[in-house]
Amino acid sequence: MKTKFASLLILIFSATTASQAEPEKESAEPTRPEVESYVKQMQGYLKNREESAARIVNEIVELDHSLKNSVNDVLQQLSVVTDSENSKTKVARMKRDVMERIGKAAKYYVNERAKLDEALRTTSNTFRREDLYKERAQFGTRIDAMVNAVMKLAATMDTHQDFEEYLYENNDSWGWGWGWGTTVRKNPEFEQNRRATTQTDTARKDIDKVIQQSKDRLQARKTDLESQLKSGKLDAEQQKRVQTEVERLSQIGKERAEQLDSLQSSGPQPTAEINLSSAMRMEEMIQAKAADARRDIGRIFARYRELRTERDVIADQEARLTRAEQWLKDHPAAK
């Protein structure tokens, strides 16, 4: 024979439907004191779980701050320098490498955000959906920041300059002007600009490709959401969320197009030449910062997985608590 408290657990903790086996008739309805006790215990339990989730959030914020500092330090140092004839293309190659690393990190965030989109498709738990929307927005903000960082760094790479390919030096000491003493040699500034802009052209082609892929993904996502809006299957809250996301995607698409136009038409940014030894020291620092960034990203996503698990538990329990509180409203205390 089940106790009334056991029946309460069945009512609150399970998702029993009419098609499932029903509890024994005499124990199907718990008493109000039992439900009140359950609500009080659940509220205490949720408070502890929410405090645990808050600690994880604080760890993510701290790691994210460390990651931003590492990336910003690298970007700040690289954005104000360029190659000299002595360093050849060392600085340009470092800039390309940093842009590729940031691009890979952004792609990782894009893949993780896609998982959140899929979770939003399949879950109906209101509390869990709220957490998923928040996390997806955070990922979107980080992705946008990474794309902007790549575009800003790309704008500091050397552009084609109108240098003469050859230098002509007159060594006619007799001054007869017959040209017999004229020396022709390659212009080192032309050679250096050619080397540097070869790196720039390659980097910009890669960026053009990535940005176009990003625009295609945004458009595909937007088209899918617009189809959901037209389906008539969304409730009011879902329609509002989806419409907001459609508008956000449209805005990002415009920003990506503007960034492409800006990159293609941008002129040279003010930078200072550095020699090879300075470039090598900078590269050592960048490698160390990159290692820190990889570590922080790994830890951030590990914490996100923990947070997602914690929030899933909280969402389930909040749903059960809501049902119990509704039961109390439906069964007021006798006067």
Strand partners, 274: 83
* Angle (CA) 81 84 90, round 5°: 75
What sign does the dihedral 270-275-276-282 (CA atoms) show?
negative
Query: What would the mean pLDDT of 31-36 be, rounded to a whole number?
Result: 93
Looking at per-residue confidence, does 284 or 233 come out higher? 284
- The pLDDT score that the predictor gives to residue 268 is 64
151 closest CA partner among 106, 199, 207: 207
Token pair of 297 as six digits: 């990203």
Q: Where are the domains of the chain?
A: 1-28, 69-160+186-311
Q: Are 130 and 120 in contact (CB under 8 A)?
A: no
Q: Are 273 and 83 in contact (CB under 8 A)?
A: yes
Other beta carbons within 10 angstroms of residue 53's beta carbon come to 19
Pairing of strands 272-274, 81-83: parallel
Highest mean pLDDT among 27-31, 72-76, 220-224: 72-76
Other Cβ atoms less than 10 A from the Cβ of 77: the count is 14
Confidence band, pLDDT 50/70/90 cuts, at residue 225: confident
Structure confidence at residue 45 (pLDDT): 96
The pLDDT value recorded for residue 144 is 86
**What's the pLDDT tens digit per position in 288-331?**
999 999 999 999 999 999 999 999 999 999 999 999 999 999 99
Residue 325 is predicted with a pLDDT of 94
How far apart CA 35 and CA 241 sit, in angstroms, is 34
pLDDT at residue 200, as a whole number: 85
pLDDT at residue 15 in the model: 43
Q: Rounded mean pLDDT of 46-55? A: 95
Rounded CA-CA distance 245/235 in Å is: 15
Mean pLDDT, the chain, rounded, equals: 84
**229 and 246 in contact (C-beta within 8 Å)?**
yes
Residue 89 has pLDDT above 90, yes or no: yes
> Is pLDDT at 7 greater than 60 in this prediction?
no
pLDDT (mean) for 131-138:
89
User: Token match 């720039």: residue?
Assistant: 200
The pLDDT of residue 109 is above 80: yes
| Cβ–Cβ under 8 Å, residues 86 and 275 | yes
Residue 123 confidence class, pLDDT cut points 50, 70, 90 = confident
> So what's the pLDDT on residue 173?
53
Tokens 């800039």 identify what position? 95
pTM: 0.76
**What is the tens place of the pLDDT at every residue in 161-198?**
788 877 877 665 555 555 556 787 888 888 888 888 88
Residue 18 has pLDDT above 80, yes or no: no
Interval 202-218 mean pLDDT? 84
Q: What is the pLDDT of residue 16?
A: 38
CATH topology of domain 69-160+186-311: Methane Monooxygenase Hydroxylase; Chain G, domain 1 (1.20.58)
Q: What is the DSSP string of 266-299?
A: --PPP-EEE-HHHHHHHHHHHHHHHHHHHHHHHH
What percentage of the chain carries pLDDT values higher than 70?
87
The identity of residue 18, as a single letter, is A
**Residue 158's pLDDT is what?**
84
d(CA 58, CA 53): 9
pLDDT of residue 86: 93
Q: Give the model's pLDDT for residue 175.
A: 55
Radius of gyration of the chain (CA): 31
The residue among 118, 78, 106, 137 whose CA lies nearest residue 256 is 106
Predicted local distance difference test score (pLDDT) of residue 8:
52
Q: Which segment of 72-86, 90-104, 144-158 scores lowest on mean pLDDT? A: 144-158
Indicate if the pLDDT at residue 107 is higher than 70: yes
**20 — pLDDT class (breaks 50, 70, 90):** very low
Encoded amino acid at 268, one letter: P
Q: Which of 159, 247, 234, 150 is nearest to 199 (CA)?
A: 159
At 251-300, the pLDDT tens digits run 888 888 887 787 777 666 788 999 999 999 999 999 999 999 999 999 99
